[in-house]
Amino acid sequence: MKKVAVVGCGSYMESGYGCPGEWRCLKAAATGEGKFEEPSSVISFVTCECPGRAVIPTLGMAAKLSEMKPDVIHLSSCLATAKPACPYNKPEELAGMIEEKTGIKVILGTHDYH
Ligand code: SF4
């Protein structure tokens, strides 16, 4: 089974309205729906914190402490398709930076649930 890490928008998650951490990302991963190509095991769920500079070291720390390297990293739908958009980083740019630093493919989004 594919091992995935998910990055959620911490600013949105903390607002408490439909936080991606409650079930949406996890169901999509478990069932292989939305942006997941197949049922996948979420081995880490990392929250971005404004202004987003810590995401890459946080992903690295999660991999180090868990001793599990993800096969793919998903930016959660709340991060990748946020409206209003993240004021600090375009999702495509953030994905590019993560890919460059980690060498791991980054996919924009996780689920299509409402
Ligand atoms: S930097 Fe952007 S994506 Fe990260 S927590 Fe702040 S608003 Fe969300």
Quote the pTM value: 0.93
What is the pLDDT at residue 110?
A: 96
Does the CB atom of residue 52 touch ligand 1 within 6 A? yes
Q: How far is 3 from 52, CA to CA, in rounded Å?
A: 23
CA pair distance 90, 64, nearest whole angstrom: 27
* Residue range 74-99: mean pLDDT, rounded: 94
Q: Are 41 and 4 in contact (CB under 8 A)?
A: yes
Sequence letter at residue 77: S
pLDDT computed for residue 20 by the predictor:
54
Verify cis geometry, omega within 30 degrees of 0, for the bond prior to 87. Answer: no
Q: Over range 84-89, report the average pLDDT.
A: 93
pLDDT in tens, 43-62: 999 999 999 999 999 999 99
CA-CA distance, 62 to 49, in Å (whole number)? Answer: 15
Region 91-103: mean pLDDT is 97
**Encoding tokens for residue 102?**
């980690």
The pLDDT tens digits for 31-47 are 999 999 999 999 999 99
6, 88, 92: which to mutate for ligand 1, most atoms within 8 A of CB? 88
Confidence of residue 1 (pLDDT cuts 50, 70, 90): very high
C-alpha R_g of the chain: 13
